[in-house]
Amino acid sequence: MITPLAAPACRVVDACLVCGSRDLAPLLDLGEHALANNLVTPDAADTAEPRYPLGIQLCQSCLLVQLTHIVDPALMFSSYLYVPSTSTTWLAHCEELADDVCARAELGPDSLLVEIGSNDGTLLRAFQRRGVRVLGVEPATNIAAEANAAGVPTLNRFFDEATAEAIRQEHGPARVIVATNVLAHVPAPVRVLCGVRLLLQPGGVFVNESPSLCDLVEHTEFDTIYHEHVSYFSLHALRLLCALAGLRIVDAVPQAIHGGSLRLVAVRADQPWTPAPQIGALLAREQAAGVVSSAGLRAFAERTARLRERLQAAVRELQAAGQRLAAYGATAKGNTLLAYCGLSRDDIAYIVDRNPLKQGRLTPGTRIPIVSPDHLAADPPDVLLLLAWNLADEIRNQLAWFHERGGHFLVPVPEPRLC
């Protein structure tokens, strides 16, 4: 029997995180979820972790989509198990991003590049290989220590105006500040961007990548909603957010990574810079996709409910046919999908993950064991549910032997399908 725990404080978001408006329209309620990246050690298997309401809403004043409830960031980021370096797709993306940024900013050995939320330093190492002076800012103590040990100078703290001022005093202003998949995690994004404005040197650039709300809606990527992702950005919302911090977006480039992301380039608002023409086309795409209206976003919520029904039906049909299921990718998005779709250890025998920090642990809430790829070879199922569906091509290439032996992959998003 699992013993329940009292949930620590979780605050309701009743005023917009960016503009403070109380004109918030509820969109999608996913129920109560455990924290998606807080994996469980075997000795705690019988103790239930706290669960928190998980849903999104639209600020009808500034068009920011945001959570309905926020959990204390210290519960999620002080110690962390996610590292991106286990994905070859991400490693290749880092090389491309480093080339792009170096060309845009004309970086040299005297240029300072700061990364916000630098994790284990995977991206910063790509810049180091290009001769750039780098500094990471990472709040997770264990991950920051790993980066420093690997030769990537990293400050173990959250990034805000005080951190920006401390960096400027010790290291000088930054030619470039980079943030990938970070801004969405921050309960006070204006403060972070004010820190960016403070730290940037004149003529410097801020390069930000965040999951694209447009892709989330168009492809029904509901599982990318979890407590760490506080905000879900459209370009419409990001323009206002940057303006409030004294920044101006001058370029926006869609990226395929993480199921669809948007790479933004911003400069200090007092700097002359001609905006790229594709910004208008991206704003028009968002309008057409319905991501800046409550009606369009509620249609997405309805598609999400239908996807859950179809995935549940697909799993039941496979089980009725005698097929045994496991999963691949102990991801945060996977834990949202499992919880929302009501899939448990009765449905999924185990989850394979290449990250050794996750192996030997259990998924939050559902208590499915996480194993190494060796376990898959020793005890193969009939079907692998790809919880890391955004890396489907990479996984299928890695596991060509599984398919050759008759195994199948079940891709859940945007529509459940066997391949």
Report the candidate in 418, 325, 329, 417 with the shortest Cα–Cα distance to residue 380.
Answer: 325
Read off the pLDDT band of 387 (50, 70, 90): very high
Mean pLDDT (whole number) for 128-140: 95
Q: Each residue of 149-173: pLDDT tens digit?
A: 999 999 999 999 999 999 999 999 9
At 66 the pLDDT is 98
CATH number at residue 168: 3.40.50.150
The yes-or-no verdict on residue 267 having pLDDT over 60 is yes
Q: Each residue of 317-348: pLDDT tens digit?
A: 999 999 999 999 999 999 999 999 999 999 99
The yes-or-no verdict on residue 77 having pLDDT over 80 is no
Domain assignment of residue 4, yes or no: no
**Mean pLDDT estimate for the chain:** 93
Tokens linked to 230 = 């506080």
Domain assignment of residue 397, yes or no: no
Q: Each residue of 345-369: pLDDT tens digit?
A: 999 999 999 999 899 999 999 999 9
At 5 the pLDDT is 43
Find out whether 177 and 111 touch, Cβ atoms under 8 Å: no
Report the candidate in 308, 354, 349 with the shortest Cα–Cα distance to residue 331.
Answer: 354
Report the candidate in 213, 248, 263, 229 with the shortest Cα–Cα distance to residue 98.
Answer: 263
At 136 the pLDDT is 98
Interstrand relation of 24-33 and 69-71 (parallel, antiparallel or unpaired): unpaired
Q: To the nearest whole percent, how much of the chain has pLDDT over 90?
A: 86
Neighbours of 407 (CB within 10 A): 16
Domain assignment of residue 285, yes or no: yes
Burial (0-12, 13-18, 19+ Cβ within 10 Å), 127:
buried
The yes-or-no verdict on residue 80 having pLDDT over 60 is no
The yes-or-no verdict on residue 49 having pLDDT over 60 is yes
Q: Tell me the angle at which helices 278-289 and 235-244 cross, rounded to the nearest 10 degrees.
A: 120
Mean pLDDT (whole number) for 81-102: 82
Domain assignment of residue 239, yes or no: yes
Domain assignment of residue 234, yes or no: yes
At 184 the pLDDT is 94
Name the residue range of residue 151's domain: 84-294
Q: Whole-angstrom Cα distance, residue 413 to residue 394? A: 16
Q: Does residue 356 have a cis peptide bond before it, meaning omega lies within 30 degrees of 0?
A: no
Find out whether 49 and 38 touch, Cβ atoms under 8 Å: yes
Report the candidate in 347, 357, 214, 392 with the shortest Cα–Cα distance to residue 292.
Answer: 214
The yes-or-no verdict on residue 243 having pLDDT over 50 is yes
Cα angle 106-112-117, degrees, rounded to a multiple of 5:
110
Alpha-helix runs per DSSP H in 159-254: 161-171, 189-199, 213-218, 235-244
Domain assignment of residue 127, yes or no: yes
**Domains identified in the chain, total number:** 1
The yes-or-no verdict on residue 8 having pLDDT over 70 is no
Read off the pLDDT band of 220 (50, 70, 90): very high
Domain assignment of residue 375, yes or no: no
List 176's β-bridge partners, or say none.
113, 205
What does pTM read for this prediction? 0.90
Find out whether 236 and 292 touch, Cβ atoms under 8 Å: yes
The yes-or-no verdict on residue 18 having pLDDT over 60 is yes
Read off the pLDDT band of 83 (50, 70, 90): low
At 87 the pLDDT is 75
Find out whether 380 and 407 touch, Cβ atoms under 8 Å: yes
Among the residue ranges 81-95, 136-150, 228-242, 265-279, the one predicted with the least confidence is 81-95
